[in-house]
A and B are shown apart, each in its own frame.
Chain A
Amino acid sequence: MNKKKKKAQLPFRLNILFFVVFLLFSVLILQLGVVQILNGEDFQEEIDRTIQDTTKIPVPRGKIVDRNHNVIVDNKPLYSITYTPAKGVQADDRLDVATKLSEYISMYDESNKEDVLETITERDKKEYWYLNNQEEADSRLSEEEAAQMEPADQYNTILERITEEEISDFSEQDLEIILIKKELDKAYSLTPQTVKNENVTPKEYAQVAEHLDELPGINATTDWNRSYPFNNTLRNIVGTITSEEQGILAEKEDYYLTRGYSRNDRVGRSGLEEQYENLLRGRKEQIEHTTNKNGKVIDSEVVVEGERGKDLVLTIDMELQERVDEIVQKELETAIQKHPGQQRYLEDALAVVIDPQTGELLAVSGQHYDREEGEFTDAALKTLYDQHRPGSAIKGATVLAGYESGVISPGQTFYDAPIKIKDTEPKASHRNLGLVNDYDALKYSSNVYMFYIAMRIGGHYNHQSNDPLSFTGDPFQEMRNYFRQFGLGSRTGIDFPYEATGYVGEKTAGQLLDFAIGQYDTYTTMQLAQYVATIANDGYRVQPHFLKEVREPTSYDDKLGSVYKRNNTEVLNKVQMDQSYVERVQEGFRQVFQESGGTAASYFADKDYNPAGKTGTAENEVYEDGKLLAETENLTLVGYAPYDEPEVAFAVVVPNNGRVNGRHPINHLIGEGILDTYFELKEERDQQNQSDDNDDSKEEEE
């Protein structure tokens, strides 16, 4: 009976199993119907869909010209052979291209043959041999071995088994192919890679261009190199761009990639090339390739027209720049040669020439004497990067701080005699000047006058000999706030990737007096230029700038396009001081340059361009490894002209002059040279224009 029961239940349960199988198979058929009949067309469309890819072709960078449209940075065209692989291109395909291309171009000439051939590695040769003898090479790895290796290991093992002899006697033709293939191998798909752009002969260029149809991916184009018609003049302000190998700057990789750059794009690395990268880069030509499912390009269409970078017109006057460079270098050389021993720490001379009303930089000059090499190098960057104690040149700001804080009033007099403060040496002017008013204080450069202003700002009135200094409030902060309104101790706002803003010292009471005469905080030459320009410009502080305007690119070599953007004068702030106070300082500055007894009068009194300004001498110490080497002096000069309608202002800084009698007055001579040159050049150009006008009118008459 049990047996029967068992027998009865087995078929029943088998039928249940069968039913389950039936259900599962029904689900299969159902899902097949969904995938193949319901969604089948979608899948077919997915397969047929062609792939669109875009190639970006670099365009030349914009040019840079000076205010008179003299070209400072140009593009020199270079013939260039490039390779842009399609998607899915294999090593075999690249070998084919390299083999054909080797018939038309040569990767070396007789002069660099050995160097170039040395770049071929053993692996390059083996890979070449492998591609040419693939079956033979593959047979050296048994299937059992292959089964136990990753594909990459298989390949490496095969390469290892290629013998020295097999790769030892390649012909020159073979080596040429290897060299070309090395370049092709570097290319990313759909991105152009330069195969050769140095010394491409017109013949090579023409031959490749003729045979493009049998060289898939190869193109004969032109590449560009930067060229500098003025050679080294202003080079370190203009800056540099990266090479194709360096590509975009690694530290700002994301920045560039999100803005559509390719990794091998050349970008501005320093100076104005970096500052104005966005304008100079231009717009790449974009070609859209339509690829079918086999990876074959079936159509190419330009979707974005390329446009080379915009041209920059700088505020710099290259003719003036060259002459100022010459003056700075000549005076520095003279100063050093006159006292080679005493002047052994003198090595830099810096000058900035600016239009005080607009902030346009007319010339930015720096010369550095390299004692080891015995030669002068351009160091214009030091006007922005190096900071020095300016000495009395900043007294205009101290006097204005005195007026505005109310501690002195116009015409205020002090008796200039050494001041004795408890526990310090007496503090004096360069000589005892007796009773001086504010004009005299600037004209004769009274230190004591400035000390009284500083002490009063600190609440220290009626100083008796040997009193200690006792200040109330924060006089340092108060004075620095006034100074900053002139750009002393603040950013000048210049259109450059970097500027120093000067060193700010600790607030110790005794140092306030030094601060008031420019013996404490340090400033850059650019800051001093902005300071004097602000005084010349009736208290309006304008942003110094290199960029005058941006021009649209043109296809003509010798013409500039229409104006894309003008860089207008930007007033950063107006000094919060009474207009009459600023005028008093202007008058004081005029007396320094023009009235007999003024500290710069012997150089400027007889000039007809009506100059004004302030001299400065600051004590400075040269240290090396924390050890005092020498006591030197920074010589400075700031000024502008004409006094009533200023059109040019300048700042000169010559750090670390030796203390020696009969020292070359380098600051005065550079300042004089700058103003003389500026007005000479102006006159020359006026005459030139007049004669041009005359010629024109004559022509018209005829």
Chain B
Amino acid sequence: MNDKQPNSSIDYTLVFILLLLGIVSVFTLYTLEPVLPAKYDNSNFAFQQIIWYIVGGIVIVVTMLIDYDRFHQITWFLYGVGILLLLLLFLGIPAQYVVEANGAVSWFSIPVLGTIQPAEFMKVFLIITIAHLIVRHHAKFVQREIKHDLWLFTKIMLVAIPPMGLIAVQPDLGGLLVLIAITGSMILVSGIRWRILFGLTLLSVLFVGALIATYYLFPGPIATFLEESIFKHVSSRFIGWLNPEQNADSGYQLILAMMAIGSGQLFGKGITDMEVYVPERHTDMIFTAISEQFGFIGASVVVTLFFLLIYRLIHIALLSNDQYGSYLVTGIIGMFAYQIFQNIGMSIQLLPITGLPLPFLSYGGSSTLTYMLAIGIVLNVHSRTRQYMFE
């Protein structure tokens, strides 16, 4: 009775791209070993990253075991767990496990397991929840009218705003923007009428425009407000981005990143020949290490690799003849595409600097596992796509 038969079971192209990214990641971490600050002397990030990839592989396999259709049943459970973890962080419970670093409360530190960043998992949980919402909505309202579209939009916002708020107060600007990208891309494909989408886009453009205008009209009071509120963190990032030379404290990292990437020039300086010290180089700033060693050519290869990844995901989304599967993959596309663009863009002054890892390349447990989980879902969708003979 099951009308979805696994066909080619696994998308080897996607797995191959993933393998290439893994090799780039481990290799770059290995070359970084000698230039990292002394406090990391006892860490072997390349080796640890291999372990995370292996654990990630297991996560993929486990994810693929269950038919993704079953996710419907645990949607609210996952969403609830994600919100609960974020809420605990917000409340600082349990105090001995909550960690504050770089001015943000974003981590639990749990013995043996290490540090866990709930915002990472929340990304995938939100994708699953929104996909579930859209599918259930369409099943209920076959004959869709405008009010149904608006109702769908409202429901999506109702589930998206709580985690966004909880992540914004950490404050984790990067995490917040990823959730916005995920929600945005899923609304785009949800089937809501174009005129509503345009209307919403127009509204948000006007809103942002009004914000900027107020800032320029009343620079004094707004600046004071920004200084004294939780937006201080955001405004300092923007100021550092627009004027790195004049704002040495917030622009410092950008100057170093630009110097490292720029001095790589066309061909790069060669393996391990890095001259610029950039903080967080094994995590958020790993792209600077690739660009300095391998130049524009190396950087372009990596960007192209990511583009192929996105292309492959789009392909799988298109291939899937199940809406639920398509929505899941679309959310994941939004997540990856935005994170890649943000991470690389911030180190070349396209965007303000935010704390976001580069998917699959940056060292990190929570993030790598989250991305593997996402890939697991994509492979799951692909493996359960039934190919119609006459289509």
Q: Which residues of A contact B (CB under 8 A)?
A: 2, 6-7, 9-11, 13-18, 21-22, 24-25, 27-29, 31-33, 35-37, 39-44, 46-47, 144, 147-148, 293
Given that A9-B191, A17-B333, A42-B262 are contacting pairs, would A32 and B275 also be in contact in the complex, using a CB cutoff of 8 Å? no
- Taking A35-B348, A148-B99 as known contacts, 10 extra A-B pairs with beta carbons closer than 8 A to each other, sorted by chain A number, are A10-B326, A14-B189, A17-B333, A18-B311, A25-B340, A36-B262, A36-B264, A36-B295, A36-B296, A47-B259
CA of A29 to CA of B261, assembled, Å: 13
When each residue 303-327 of chain B gets 1 if its CB lies under 8 Å from chain A and 0 otherwise, what string results? Answer: 1001100110010011001010010
CA of A47 to CA of B269, assembled, Å: 13
CB-based contact B191/A37 at 8 Å = no
CB-based contact A36/B143 at 8 Å = no
Given that A10-B326, A18-B314, A148-B99 are contacting pairs, would A39 and B262 also be in contact in the complex, using a CB cutoff of 8 Å? yes
Closest 3 CB pairs of A and B: A43-B262, A40-B265, A36-B296
Residues of B within 8 A of A147 (CB): 99, 101, 109
CB-based contact B337/A24 at 8 Å = yes
CB-based contact B258/A28 at 8 Å = no
Tally chain B residues at the interface, Cβ within 8 Å: 49
CB-based contact A32/B348 at 8 Å = yes
Within 8 A of A (CB), among B276-291: 276, 291
8 inter-chain pairs at a CB distance below 8 angstroms, sorted by A residue, are: A18-B314, A21-B310, A21-B314, A22-B307, A25-B303, A32-B261, A32-B300, A36-B261
CB-based contact B300/A29 at 8 Å = yes
CB-based contact B345/A31 at 8 Å = yes
Q: Which single member of B143, B188, B262, B340 contacts A40 (CB below 8 Å)?
A: B262
Question: For residue B276, which residue of chain A has the nearest CB?
Answer: A47
The majority secondary structure among interface residues of chain A is: helix
CB-based contact B317/A14 at 8 Å = yes
B94 at the interface (CB under 8 A from A): no
CA of A46 to CA of B265, assembled, Å: 13
Residues of A within 8 A of B334 (CB): 17
Residues of A within 8 A of B109 (CB): 144, 147
CA of A43 to CA of B318, assembled, Å: 43
Chain B proximity of A136: nearest CB distance (Å): 15
Chain A proximity of B291: nearest CB distance (Å): 7
CB-based contact A144/B111 at 8 Å = yes
Residues of A within 8 A of B276 (CB): 47
Chain A proximity of B330: nearest CB distance (Å): 7
CB-based contact A17/B188 at 8 Å = yes
CB-based contact A35/B258 at 8 Å = yes
Given that A14-B330, A17-B330, A17-B333 are contacting pairs, would A37 and B189 also be in contact in the complex, using a CB cutoff of 8 Å? no
Q: Which residues of B contact A (CB under 8 A)?
A: 99, 101, 109, 111, 138, 142-144, 185, 188-189, 191, 258-259, 261-266, 275-276, 291, 295-296, 299-300, 303, 306-307, 310-311, 314, 317-318, 321, 323, 326, 330, 333-334, 337, 340-341, 344-345, 348-350
Given that A9-B191, A37-B266 are contacting pairs, would A21 and B300 also be in contact in the complex, using a CB cutoff of 8 Å? no
Residues of A within 8 A of B263 (CB): 40, 43-44, 46-47
Question: For residue B143, which residue of chain A has the nearest CB?
Answer: A2
CB-based contact A14/B345 at 8 Å = no
CA of A9 to CA of B259, assembled, Å: 45
CB-based contact B188/A13 at 8 Å = yes
Residues of B within 8 A of A13 (CB): 188-189, 191
Question: For residue B299, which residue of chain A has the nearest CB?
Answer: A32
Residues of A within 8 A of B191 (CB): 6, 9-10, 13
CA of A485 to CA of B272, assembled, Å: 84
CB-based contact B326/A36 at 8 Å = no
Chain A proximity of B205: nearest CB distance (Å): 16
Chain B proximity of A21: nearest CB distance (Å): 5
Residues of A within 8 A of B299 (CB): 32, 36
CB-based contact A14/B318 at 8 Å = yes
Residues of B within 8 A of A40 (CB): 262-266, 296
Question: For residue B257, which residue of chain A has the nearest CB?
Answer: A35
CB-based contact B333/A6 at 8 Å = no
CA of A170 to CA of B334, assembled, Å: 64
Given that A148-B99, A293-B275 are contacting pairs, would A28 and B326 also be in contact in the complex, using a CB cutoff of 8 Å? no
Chain A proximity of B301: nearest CB distance (Å): 11
Given that A21-B310, A29-B303 are contacting pairs, would A43 and B258 also be in contact in the complex, using a CB cutoff of 8 Å? yes
CB-based contact B265/A31 at 8 Å = no
CB-based contact B262/A11 at 8 Å = no
CB-based contact A10/B189 at 8 Å = yes
Q: Which single member of A10, A18, A32, A293 contacts B303 (CB below 8 Å)?
A: A32
CB-based contact A21/B348 at 8 Å = no
Chain B proximity of A32: nearest CB distance (Å): 5
Residues of B within 8 A of A21 (CB): 307, 310, 314, 333, 337
CB-based contact A32/B291 at 8 Å = yes
Chain A proximity of B5: nearest CB distance (Å): 20
Q: Which single member of A17, A36, A144 contacts B314 (CB below 8 Å)?
A: A17
Residues of B within 8 A of A11 (CB): 318
Chain B proximity of A600: nearest CB distance (Å): 76
Residues of A within 8 A of B185 (CB): 17
Residues of B within 8 A of A293 (CB): 275
Question: For residue A25, which residue of chain B has the nearest CB?
Answer: B307
Residues of A within 8 A of B314 (CB): 14-15, 17-18, 21
Chain B proximity of A630: nearest CB distance (Å): 67
Q: Which single member of A16, A29, A37, A43 contacts B259 (CB below 8 Å)?
A: A43
Chain B proximity of A303: nearest CB distance (Å): 27
Q: Which single member of B266, B318, B330, B340 contacts A36 (CB below 8 Å)?
A: B266
Question: For residue B98, which residue of chain A has the nearest CB?
Answer: A148
Q: Which single member of A2, A7, A17 contacts B189 (CB below 8 Å)?
A: A17
Q: Which single member of B101, B138, B265, B323 contacts A37 (CB below 8 Å)?
A: B265
Chain A proximity of B367: nearest CB distance (Å): 18
Chain B proximity of A88: nearest CB distance (Å): 12
CA of A661 to CA of B3, assembled, Å: 138
Question: For residue A5, which residue of chain B has the nearest CB?
Answer: B191
Residues of B within 8 A of A27 (CB): 345, 350
CA of A33 to CA of B317, assembled, Å: 31
Chain B proximity of A123: nearest CB distance (Å): 23
CA of A441 to CA of B47, assembled, Å: 111
Chain A proximity of B102: nearest CB distance (Å): 12
CB-based contact A37/B296 at 8 Å = yes
Q: Which single member of A7, A14, A15, A35 contacts B261 (CB below 8 Å)?
A: A35
Residues of A within 8 A of B144 (CB): 2
CB-based contact B188/A6 at 8 Å = no
CB-based contact A2/B142 at 8 Å = yes
Chain B proximity of A167: nearest CB distance (Å): 25
Residues of A within 8 A of B333 (CB): 17, 21
Residues of A within 8 A of B261 (CB): 32, 35-36, 43
Q: Which of B101, B109, B314, B330 has the most CB of A within 10 A?
A: B314
Question: For residue B266, which residue of chain A has the nearest CB?
Answer: A37
Residues of B within 8 A of A148 (CB): 99
CA of A25 to CA of B348, assembled, Å: 13
CA of A147 to CA of B98, assembled, Å: 11
CA of A43 to CA of B300, assembled, Å: 19
CA of A56 to CA of B89, assembled, Å: 54
CB-based contact A28/B111 at 8 Å = no
Residues of A within 8 A of B296 (CB): 32-33, 36-37, 40
Q: Which single member of A6, A24, A35, A47 contacts B138 (CB below 8 Å)?
A: A6
Residues of B within 8 A of A24 (CB): 337, 341
CB-based contact A28/B303 at 8 Å = yes
CB-based contact A28/B350 at 8 Å = yes
CA of A108 to CA of B150, assembled, Å: 86
CA of A293 to CA of B344, assembled, Å: 27
Question: For residue B344, which residue of chain A has the nearest CB?
Answer: A28
Question: For residue A22, which residue of chain B has the nearest CB?
Answer: B307
Residues of B within 8 A of A42 (CB): 262
CA of A2 to CA of B323, assembled, Å: 14
Chain B proximity of A649: nearest CB distance (Å): 64
Q: Which single member of B275, B310, B345 contacts A47 (CB below 8 Å)?
A: B275
CA of A29 to CA of B348, assembled, Å: 10
Q: Which single member of A7, A17, A35 contacts B262 (CB below 8 Å)?
A: A35
Residues of A within 8 A of B337 (CB): 21, 24
